[in-house]
C-alpha cells in the first residue's frame, strides 16, 4: 500500500501563508512597541521607519511614575477579573440548566436572551445611565462589574451550554447510579470535562471587560475610578497627543492579558485530559 506524502512545495506554501498571516496579525503590536520606544523628538521625523535610530524607556518610566496609569491599571484588573468570575459562575449554572433540563418558559427565555444581543449599545446607554444614577452607583467599579456582567451573561451562557451539550448525559447517570448525588456527579465528572469551556468563557469575558470603553466613559468620571481604556484618553490634549506615553501604556496593558491566557491555557490542556477518560 502506497504511503501518500505531501508535496514539499505544498508544505512550504503552508508555512509561507502562516508566516504571512502572523506578520499581518502581529504588525500592529510591533508598531505599538516601536512607537513606545521612540523618543518624542523622533516620533514624527522618523515616523515611517521600521525602527527608530535611537530608543528610550523614558515613556515607560513616565507612564508608571508620573501618571495615574497604575490606578487605571488596577481598576481595570479588578473590574475584569470580577466580571469574568461572576459571569462565568452564572453562565455555567444557566448553561447547565439549559442543557440538562426542560422547564416551562425555556424557549421564551432563550429568545429573550438572544433579543438582548440585538440592540446597539448606543441605544441603551441612556437608560443604563439613568438606572445606575438612580441607584447611586455612578463613579464606582461595582457599577461597571454589574453592567458588564449583565451584558456578557447571554453569550457566555450559550457558550457554556454548547460545552455541556457535548458531554454525554449518560456519564452523569452512571455516576448517580454508582451512588453520587447530582452535585457530586457534576463536580467529579462534568466539571473536569468543562474546564475548556470555563477557560474559553473566562477568556472571552475578561477580554471584553478589559477593553470596554463606552460604559466606562459614561458611568465613571472620577479619576480614581477610571479604567484603563478611559485613562488612555488622558494622554490626548486639546492640541496634541502624547503618542510615546500612550503607546507605552498600551504595551503595559497587554501584560495582564498575556499572563491571564497563559494561566487559562493550563486549564484548557487539563480539561482535555481529565474527567471520564481518566483511568
- For residue range 199-257, list pLDDT tens digits in order: 888 888 998 899 888 899 889 888 888 898 888 888 887 677 788 888 888 888 888 77
Reading the block at residue 169, the C-alpha cell is 448525559
Intra-chain end-to-end CA distance of the chain, in Å: 36
- For residue range 155-205, list pLDDT tens digits in order: 899 888 888 888 888 888 888 887 778 888 888 888 888 888 888 888 889
Dump strand ranges (E) for 97-166.
none
Using DSSP, state whether 236 is helix, strand or coil: strand
- For residue range 79-101, list pLDDT tens digits in order: 999 999 999 999 998 898 888 88
Can you tell me the distance from the alpha carbon of 102 to that of 272, in angstroms, rounded to the nearest whole number?
A: 28
Please tell me what DSSP assigns to residue 2: P
Q: Are 43 and 244 in contact (CB under 8 A)?
A: yes
Can you tell me the distance from the alpha carbon of 59 to that of 38, in angstroms, rounded to the nearest whole number?
A: 8
Query: Would you put residue 54 in left (φ > 0), alpha (ψ -120 to 50) or beta?
Result: beta
pLDDT value of residue 153: 92
Residue found by looking up cell 440538562 in the block: 100
Stated pTM of the model: 0.81
What is the percent of the chain with per-residue pLDDT over 70, rounded to a whole number?
91
Amino acid at each position: 500500500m502506497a504511503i501518500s506524502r505531501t508535496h514539499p512545495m505544498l508544505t512550504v506554501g503552508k508555512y509561507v501563508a502562516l508566516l504571512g498571516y502572523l506578520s499581518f496579525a502581529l504588525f500592529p503590536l510591533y508598531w505599538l512597541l516601536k512607537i513606545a520606544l521612540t523618543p518624542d523628538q523622533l516620533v514624527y521625523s522618523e515616523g515611517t521607519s521600521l525602527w527608530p535610530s535611537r530608543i528610550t524607556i523614558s515613556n515607560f518610566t513616565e507612564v508608571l511614575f508620573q501618571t495615574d496609569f497604575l490606578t487605571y491599571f488596577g481598576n481595570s484588573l479588578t473590574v475584569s477579573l470580577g466580571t469574568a468570575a461572576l459571569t462565568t459562575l452564572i453562565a455555567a449554572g444557566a448553561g447547565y440548566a439549559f442543557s440538562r433540563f426542560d422547564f416551562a418558559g425555556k424557549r421564551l427565555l432563550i429568545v429573550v436572551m438572544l433579543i438582548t444581543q440585538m440592540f446597539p449599545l448606543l441605544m441603551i446607554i441612556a437608560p443604563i445611565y439613568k438606572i445606575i444614577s438612580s441607584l447611586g452607583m455612578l463613579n464606582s467599579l461595582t457599577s461597571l462589574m454589574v453592567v458588564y456582567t449583565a451584558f456578557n451573561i447571554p453569550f457566555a451562557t450559550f457558550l457554556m451550554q454548547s460545552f455541556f451539550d457535548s458531554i454525554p448525559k449518560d456519564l452523569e447517570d452512571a455516576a448517580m447510579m454508582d451512588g453520587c448525588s447530582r452535585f457530586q456527579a457534576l463536580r467529579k465528572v462534568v466539571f473536569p470535562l468543562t474546564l475548556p469551556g470555563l477557560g474559553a468563557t473566562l477568556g472571552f469575558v475578561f477580554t471584553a471587560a478589559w477593553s470596554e470603553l463606552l460604559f466606562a466613559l459614561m458611568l465613571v468620571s472620577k479619576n480614581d475610578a477610571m479604567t484603563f481604556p478611559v485613562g488612555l484618553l488622558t494622554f490626548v490634549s486639546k492640541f496634541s497627543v502624547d503618542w510615546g506615553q500612550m503607546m507605552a501604556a498600551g504595551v503595559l496593558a497587554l501584560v495582564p492579558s498575556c499572563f491571564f491566557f497563559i494561566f487559562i491555557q493550563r486549564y484548557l490542556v487539563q480539561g482535555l485530559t481529565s474527567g471520564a477518560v481518566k483511568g
